[in-house]
């Protein structure tokens, strides 16, 4: 389950609230949830910032977990999130 943060950002008054994992959400679950949330809200600036900051989190995940994560994302809706995972895995983007 996710709860919405109430912190205000100086970047934009209309920026969407960022979900914070609650309960036992793993780092990859949090990554997937936030990619889906920000993609669905068309918050691409926030999404690209989050993906860029997630490098350390993704680096700790086994390759099989990253592959499974990519398989759960829709390539038409979650392209930026998939690219983040592929870059972390060292995949070449052609």
Query: For the segment 52-88, what is each residue's pLDDT rounded down to a tens digit?
Result: 988 888 888 888 888 898 899 998 889 889 988 888 8
User: In the structure encoding, which two tokens stand for residue 25, read together?
Assistant: 């959400």
Dihedral over alpha carbons 77, 28, 1, 11 (to 10 degrees): -60
8 part of a folded domain: no
Calpha distance 8→16 (Å, rounded): 10
Strand partners, 4: 19
| 63 inside domain | yes
How many structural domains comprise the chain? 1
Instruction: Determine the 3-state secondary structure of 20 from DSSP.
Output: strand
- Asked if residue 15 belongs to a domain, the reply is no
Asked whether residue 20 is assigned to any structural domain, the reply reads no
Structural domain containing residue 79: 25-94
Asked whether residue 36 is domain-assigned, the answer is yes
Whether 10 is in a domain gets the answer no
* 18 within domain boundaries: no
For range 39-46, the mean pLDDT: 89
Whole-structure pTM value: 0.67
């Amino acid at each position: 389950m996710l709860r919405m943060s109430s912190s205000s950002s100086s970047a934009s008054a209309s920026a969407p609230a960022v979900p914070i994992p609650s309960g036992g959400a793993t780092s990859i679950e949090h990554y997937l949830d936030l990619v889906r949330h920000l993609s669905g809200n068309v918050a691409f600036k926030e999404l690209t910032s989050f993906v860029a900051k997630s490098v350390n989190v993704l680096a700790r995940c086994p390759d099989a977990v990253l592959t499974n994560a990519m398989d759960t994302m829709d390539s038409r809706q979650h392209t930026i999130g998939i690219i983040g995972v592929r870059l972390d895995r060292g995949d070449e983007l052609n």
